Amino acid sequence: MNTEIEQKLIQFRVNISEAKTTEEKARALVVLANRLREFSVFDEAKSLIYNAIELATTFDYQLILGFAKSTQGAICIQQGEFKLALALHHESLVIFENENDRYYIAISHTYIAMTLQSLGDRLTSIEHYKKASTIYEEIGNFKDLSGNLINIGLVYTDLHEYQIALDYFNRAISIFSTMDDHYALSSVYSSIGNIHVLLSDYQNAFKYLNLALNESSAAKSRYAEAAILNSIANIYNNLGDFDNAIATFNNSLSISNEINMEILSGINYNAIANIYRIKKNYETALQMLFKAKQIFEISESNIYLPNVISDIGLVYYEEQNFGLALECFRDAQQKYYYLNDKTGIVKTHLCKANVYSNSSYEYRDSKTAEMNLIEALRLCELMEVKGKQLICHESLSILYEFENDLVKALHHHKKYHELTIEVQSEEVKKQADKFSWERKLADMEKEREIELLKTEAEKSLLNETINHQKKRLETQAFEVENSIQELVKKNGLLQQIQSDIKKIAPHTKRECIDAIEHLLDRVSRHITPLDSFKELDKQWTVIHSCFIKKLQEAFPDLTTMELKIAVLLNMKFTSSNISSALFLAKRTVEFHRHNLRKKMKLEVSQDIYQVLATYSSQ
């Protein structure tokens, strides 16, 4: 423990030594344990709690026993021991109900809700948050009420019920605004910003996260500032803007180190390391990852530790140090099993399969690779995670083909293409849903602005603006949905034909093989949706003519492809989205994006989404 933390805890230690009764001592033990928990000093905190529970049980101090079990449960949440935490908070709830302490009954319901949320039981979690909120409202504790409204909003965000989530966030804003609570407002704005991240609406995500940053600055909360900077850095990372991502992660890291936020420091080190791994700077990546690992081990943060160990394994794998990679994947998987983290278990099964199926691995073992892939597939099917199922089927198909087991290879190849069509169809629906949510969010934003306007004339003008923007969003939604549907439909059909031809090929006479290969080549060439580009060209030249004209006037050397990518970026598409829509390799898209930034003379710190938006709105 460092000197600064120890100084803050001196008075709490004095309170224990000067306690005149066993009751005072038991209470002081719980208070100090809580403070130690906040600084992630878990070993000493747990030791103090055991002493407090022993005293409270011996002398029948029921309220103190409830406080102690509640604190012990909070430590378990921080260390990822959610089932034990749930049992402890239920025990403390019973004690507080027997003592009729309504405030701590509400606190227990809140902790139970948080634990259930971590265990994935979101609907029951909401029930407990609502019970706590009702009590807070009845006893007039509006600060904790608003905090619970934020928590409920976060659960609805996880359930993709963004409208309901925003309703709760806006209720929290209305309460916190009257209380002038800048810290709480920063939390709400940050949550709204994260909804926009989920919708890939990065412009509004930046807007709300910057509002959150301003509120955290007004609240003088370095903790909130560091957390929000981490969220902003993650957006840059998602956009592939690695320089800004690293700079912002480092800003967050500097603050988290300064104020001893050890867990966030570890998260920042891990995130920075993964960027260096992508850049193939393995030495720096490993340095960062081992720093993160040390932090999570010292703080006994079981939730984050397996992630960083798995990421260390990925670096070793890319360096072809397969022995060390396997050690990491096994260690991480054991910890994921302990946490019952099925996503992590699947991830490590796939990583182990990659090692055992790698032809460069001295001890290559197809059977072990197969066993890992089949178990990963089984878990993915249980969780109904189609994206990972695709990876499993594709990997099994390649593995069986390598082993010359063509029947099994064909089975998984067929499954892969069937799932691909399903996933593409779901992507179309997601795009439509995304634009639907954007319309609703835009409407809600403007409705709030209307309420703040003082004159009917201003309201009328704003209503016209809303209608105009609404029509524009609806048009964009129709364009994108129609285009993607056409691309998916055509590609799905061609992929099915390609799959059927491959089934026929092994049973075809040798003299027909050339014809089969020629036919496959023709189908493969036509999978690239050149015909579909006509529809996109029509949309770009007619609907986006003003935007394209302004860009061409400002930057006459932009190519046709760069203009197309600029339009898609203005529609909030990421590089991955553009790659899918235009059926280009992601590297090709990144190359065109780089040229676009270069020709527009954009600085590293400038956000291309925001810059393009100015040409759209002029």
Sign of CA dihedral 62, 65, 71, 75: negative
Amino acid at 4: E
Q: Please compute the mean of the pLDDT values over residues 137-143 and round it to a whole number.
A: 88
Q: Which of 223-237, 432-446, 522-536, 586-600 has the highest mean pLDDT?
A: 223-237
Answer whether residue 478 shows pLDDT above 70: no
| pLDDT value of residue 109 | 96
Instruction: Tell whether 547 is covered by a domain.
Output: yes
| pLDDT value of residue 309 | 96
Instruction: Tell whether 64 is covered by a domain.
Output: no
Please tell me whether residues 535 and 523 are part of one structural domain.
no
Q: How big is the CA angle at 212 (ends 207 and 215), to the nearest 5 degrees?
A: 130
| Alpha carbon distance 245, 251 (integer Å) | 10
Sign of CA dihedral 212, 213, 217, 220: positive
Stated length of the chain: 618
The answer to whether 188 and 157 have CB atoms below 8 angstroms apart is no
Nearest to 309 by CA among 280, 340, 348: 348
| pLDDT value of residue 86 | 94
Answer whether residue 376 shows pLDDT above 80: yes
Last residue of a domain, one of 479, 506, 527: 527
Nearest to 190 by CA among 156, 226, 164: 226
What does DSSP assign to residue 508? S
| pLDDT bucket at 477, cuts 50 / 70 / 90 | low
Cβ-count burial of 362 within 10 angstroms (0-12 exposed, 13-18 middle, 19+ buried)? exposed
| pLDDT value of residue 265 | 93
Residue for token pair 């130690």: 36
Please tell me whether residues 555 and 618 are part of one structural domain.
yes
Please tell me whether residues 559 and 605 are part of one structural domain.
yes
Q: Please compute the mean of the pLDDT values over residues 552-559 and round it to a whole number.
A: 84
Please tell me whether residues 480 and 503 are part of one structural domain.
yes
- Between 198 and 149, the higher pLDDT residue: 149
Say how many domains are in the chain.
2
Nearest to 349 by CA among 329, 367, 328: 329
Last residue of a domain, one of 494, 527, 560: 527
What dihedral angle (degrees, nearest 10) is formed by the CA atoms of 431, 432, 438, 439? Answer: 160
Please tell me whether residues 520 and 535 are part of one structural domain.
no
| Alpha carbon distance 351, 328 (integer Å) | 10
- Calculate the CA 486 to chain-centre distance: 30
Instruction: Tell whether 600 is covered by a domain.
Output: yes
Instruction: Tell whether 489 is covered by a domain.
Output: yes
Please tell me whether residues 568 and 605 are part of one structural domain.
yes
CA atoms within 13 A of residue 550's CA, in its CB half-sphere: 13
Say how many C-beta atoms besides its own lie within 10 A of residue 560's C-beta: 10
Amino acid at 82: F
Please tell me whether residues 582 and 609 are part of one structural domain.
yes
| pLDDT value of residue 14 | 77
Q: Which of 274-283, 444-453, 465-474, 535-544 has the highest mean pLDDT?
A: 274-283
| Alpha carbon distance 124, 109 (integer Å) | 11
Query: Which element (helix H / strand E) includes 297?
Result: helix 282-298
| pLDDT value of residue 428 | 56
Q: Please compute the mean of the pLDDT values over residues 488-505 and round it to a whole number.
A: 68
Q: Please compute the mean of the pLDDT values over residues 173-189 and round it to a whole number.
A: 84
| Alpha carbon distance 532, 486 (integer Å) | 7
Please tell me whether residues 553 and 598 are part of one structural domain.
yes
> For the stretch 20-41, what's the b/e string if a residue is b when 16 or more beta carbons lie within 10 angstroms of its beta carbon?
eeeeebbbbbbbbbbbbbebbb
Answer whether residue 317 shows pLDDT above 60: yes
pLDDT in tens, 253-270: 999 998 888 889 999 999
Please tell me whether residues 503 and 560 are part of one structural domain.
no
Q: What is the mean pLDDT of the chain?
A: 83
pLDDT in tens, 398-426: 999 888 888 988 998 888 888 888 777 66
| pLDDT value of residue 178 | 79
Name the CA radius of gyration of the chain, rounded. Answer: 28
Answer whether residue 221 shows pLDDT above 70: yes
Instruction: Tell whether 373 is covered by a domain.
Output: no
Structural domain of 589: 531-618
Q: Please compute the mean of the pLDDT values over residues 45-51 and round it to a whole number.
A: 93
Q: Please compute the mean of the pLDDT values over residues 222-247 and round it to a whole number.
A: 91
CA atoms within 13 A of residue 600's CA, in its CB half-sphere: 25
The answer to whether 253 and 265 have CB atoms below 8 angstroms apart is yes
| pLDDT value of residue 461 | 61
| pLDDT value of residue 516 | 72
Q: E strands within 177-232?
A: none
Last residue of a domain, one of 512, 527, 542: 527
Which residues lie closer than 8 Å to 120 by C-beta, 6 or more apart?
none
| pLDDT value of residue 530 | 39
What values do phi and psi take at 607, rounded to 5? Answer: -90, 115
Q: Please compute the mean of the pLDDT values over residues 205-214 and round it to a whole number.
A: 91
Residue for token pair 């992508």: 278
Q: Where are the alpha helices (DSSP H) in 59-181?
A: 62-78, 82-98, 102-118, 122-138, 142-158, 162-179
> CATH number of the domain that 568 lies in?
1.10.10.10
Q: State whether residue 361 is helix, strand or coil.
A: coil
| pLDDT bucket at 452, cuts 50 / 70 / 90 | low
- Between 200 and 585, the higher pLDDT residue: 200
Instruction: Tell whether 504 is covered by a domain.
Output: yes
- Calculate the CA 130 to chain-centre distance: 25
What does DSSP assign to residue 507? G
How is residue 307 written in tokens? Answer: 């992630």
Cβ-count burial of 313 within 10 angstroms (0-12 exposed, 13-18 middle, 19+ buried)? buried
| Alpha carbon distance 444, 455 (integer Å) | 19
Please tell me whether residues 520 and 554 are part of one structural domain.
no
Amino acid at 429: K
Sign of CA dihedral 185, 187, 188, 193: positive
| pLDDT value of residue 96 | 94
Sign of CA dihedral 166, 169, 175, 181: negative
The answer to whether 596 and 565 have CB atoms below 8 angstroms apart is yes
What dihedral angle (degrees, nearest 10) is formed by the CA atoms of 67, 72, 75, 79? Answer: -160
| pLDDT value of residue 115 | 93
Instruction: Tell whether 211 is covered by a domain.
Output: no
Q: Please compute the mean of the pLDDT values over residues 492-498 and round it to a whole number.
A: 68
pLDDT in tens, 79-126: 878 899 999 999 999 999 999 999 999 999 999 999 998 888 889 999
The answer to whether 289 and 307 have CB atoms below 8 angstroms apart is no
| pLDDT bucket at 200, cuts 50 / 70 / 90 | confident
Helix axes 162-179, 406-452, angle to 10 degrees: 40
| pLDDT bucket at 69, cuts 50 / 70 / 90 | very high
pLDDT in tens, 567-617: 878 877 777 777 666 666 778 888 888 888 888 888 877 888 888 888 876
| pLDDT bucket at 140, cuts 50 / 70 / 90 | confident
Which residues lie closer than 8 Å to 452 by C-beta, 6 or more apart?
none
Helix axes 532-542, 456-504, angle to 10 degrees: 160
Please tell me whether residues 537 and 504 are part of one structural domain.
no
Please tell me whether residues 521 and 587 are part of one structural domain.
no
Phi-psi region of 280 (alpha: psi -120 to 50; beta: other; left: phi over 0): left
Instruction: Tell whether 577 is covered by a domain.
Output: yes
Which residues lie closer than 8 Å to 456 by C-beta, 6 or more apart?
none
